[in-house]
Amino acid sequence: MKGYYAINMPVFHEYADPRAVAQLAREAEEAGWHGFFIWDHILFDPHGLSVADP
């Protein structure tokens, strides 16, 4: 049986920029990953990191 592999990543700090996430998704697809998932969450960050809205 063949395995499937995916990337699951948060979208805050330097990855709060949708263009950066889109570039990573393209690179993951080119590298042969089967899926690319982002966190769907509500986050209060006392450290002040930027957070993207999925």
Its pTM stands at: 0.75
pLDDT in tens, 1-36: 578 899 998 888 888 899 999 999 999 999 999 999
DSSP per-residue letters across the chain: -----EEEE--BGGGGSHHHHHHHHHHHHHTT-SEEEE-------TT---B---
Taking the C-alpha atoms of residue 47 and residue 54, their distance in angstroms, rounded to an integer, is: 20
pLDDT mean across residues, the chain? 85
Q: pLDDT tens for residues 27-48? A: 999 999 999 999 887 666 667 7
pLDDT of residue 8: 92
